[in-house]
Amino acid sequence: MGVRTTKQRTAVVEVLQDRDNFLSARQIHRELGDRGFSVGLTTVYRTLQSLVDADAADVLHTEAGEAVYRLCSDEHHHHLLCTACGATVEIGGGPVERWAAELAEAHGYLMTGHSAEIFGLCARCRRSAEAGSA
Residue ranges of the annotated binding site for Zn(2+) are 82, 85, 122, 125
Q: Give how far Cα 63 sits from Cα of 58, 81, 117, 120, Å.
A: 16, 11, 11, 10
CA distance 74 to 72: 7
Q: Which residues are annotated as a binding site for Fe cation?
A: 76, 97, 114
CA distance 68 to 103: 28
Q: How many CB atoms neighbour CB 133 within 10 A?
A: 6
Q: Give how far Cα 98 sits from Cα of 101, 105, 110, 114, Å.
A: 5, 11, 13, 11
CA distance 63 to 84: 11
Q: Which residues are annotated as a binding site?
A: 76, 82, 85, 97, 114, 122, 125
